[in-house]
Homo-oligomer: A and B are copies of this chain.
Amino acid sequence: MRAAVMYGAGDIRIEHRPDPVIQQPTDAVVRTVLSCVCGSDLWPYASMPPAGTGRLMGHEFLGVVEETGPEVTGVRAGDLVVAPFTYCDSTCDYCARGLTFSCRNGGRYGTGGVDGGQGEAVRVPQADGTLVRLPVDAGSALLPSLLTLSDVMGTGHHGAVTAGVGPGDTVLVIGDGAVGLCAVLAAGRLGAERIVLMGRHTDRTDLGRAFGATDVIAERGEEGVARVRDLTGGDGVGKVIEAVGTRAALETAIAAADDGGTISRLGIPQYEEGPVGPSTVLRNITLTGGASPARSYIPELLPDVLDGTIDPGRVLDGTFTLDQVPDAYRAMADRRVLKALITF
C-alpha cells in the first residue's frame, strides 16, 4: 500500500509500505476511504529535524473494515467505520472514566508498528473498543462530517464540555482553525447564547459565524482582550476555549477570562511554561481541557451529524488525493486551506 511519511520539516513523501495484516486477535485492518491533515501535523511539518527513518503521518480516518482478528466481535468486514485519533479498548478504568486518550491498552497511530491514518490501509489495534460503525454507505455526503468525529469535532466538543458550557452562556473561542470552529459549533450545540470567536482569517471566521459565532474579533493580544471585554460587559468571559496552543493564546485566554472563569486548552502547547502565578490564583482561574477522549464522545455526537443538526465537515475545505498529500500540507501551512481532506 501507499502512505504519507514525513522525513523532516516540509518533507512529506508518499511511499510504498507493507500492507497491514492482523497481528493481534483484537486487531482489524481498515481500508481507508477518507483521511485528513490535522493542525497538529503542521508542527512537525514546520520544525521536524531531518530524519533517516520517516514518520508515518495521520490519525484521523474513516474506512471499510477489510479483515478482523478472531476476538473482534463489534465490527466485521465490509463495515464502514470511523476511528478516533488514538486507539483504545473502551473497557479499562480510564476509558470508563471517559479518558480514552489515557487508555491502558491504547496508543497512537503511526508509531509502534501501527500504521498512520494518511495511508491506504491501517491496522487498528483494539478494534472493538476503537472503531465505530457508521450507518451510512461509503457514498454518503455526510462522510466528511463523520470523519471529523475522529478528532476535530470531538476536540471542539471536549473544549465546550470541560469549559462547562451550558444554556445561555457566553463563551470565548480563541483560534479560527478547524478545532476552534468545531468548538464554536459544540458550544452552540450545548446552548451557548453568545459565542465570541477570535480569529483573523475572514473566510474562517465567516464559517465560524455560520457555525454559531455571534461576534468575531480580529484583533490579537491586549487589543483583542480589550475588544472581548468591551463586547461582554467589561469583566471578561467565564468560559474560554483556547484552540491554538501558543503561549500568546494562553495569555490572551487568561487576560480575557473573568474572575472564577474556566479556560479549556485544546491546542497542544507549544510552550513548556505558562503564566500561572499569583494573579491566576487570586482570580480563581481554572485551567482545564486537554487531549479529547474523542472515542467517548462519538455516541453523543454521531446522531447530530447523521440528522444534520451539526455539519462540522465544512471545515474540510480542500480535497486532495494521497499523491497530493505534500500539496495538502503546503496548502494548510500557507493557510490557503483550513483543513485538507484526503480521498482514496
Contact = CB atoms under 8 A, between A and B. Distances in A.
Contacts of A260: 94, 97-99, 102
9 contacts: A94-B259, A97-B260, A98-B260, A265-B281, A269-B280, A273-B274, A284-B291, A287-B288, A288-B288
Given A99-B260, A259-B94, A277 B274 contact: yes
Given A250-B276, A269-B277, A276-B276, 17 more contacts: A99-B260, A102-B260, A265-B281, A268-B281, A269-B280, A269-B281, A271-B277, A272-B275, A273-B273, A273-B276, A274-B274, A281-B291, A282-B291, A286-B286, A286-B287, A287-B287, A288-B288
Contact of A99 (B259, B268, B291): B259
Contacts of A109: none
A250 B282 CA distance: 16
A278 interface: yes
Interface residues of A, number: 34
A268 to B, nearest CB: 6
A207 to B, nearest CB: 25
Contact of A285 (B250, B273, B284, B290): B290
| Most chain B CB inside 10 Å of its own CB: which residue of A98, A162, A268, A276 | A276
Nearest to A265: B281
Contacts of A274: 273-274, 276-277
The quantity of this chain's copies bound in the complex is: 2
A289 interface: yes
Interface in A255-308: 259-260, 265, 267-269, 271-278, 280-291
Contacts of A269: 276-278, 280-281
Contact of A282 (B101, B271, B285): B101
A5 to B, nearest CB: 23
A269 to B, nearest CB: 5
Contacts of A101: 259, 282, 284
B284 A99 contact: yes
Contacts of A265: 281
A225 to B, nearest CB: 18
Interface in A230-276: 250, 259-260, 265, 267-269, 271-276
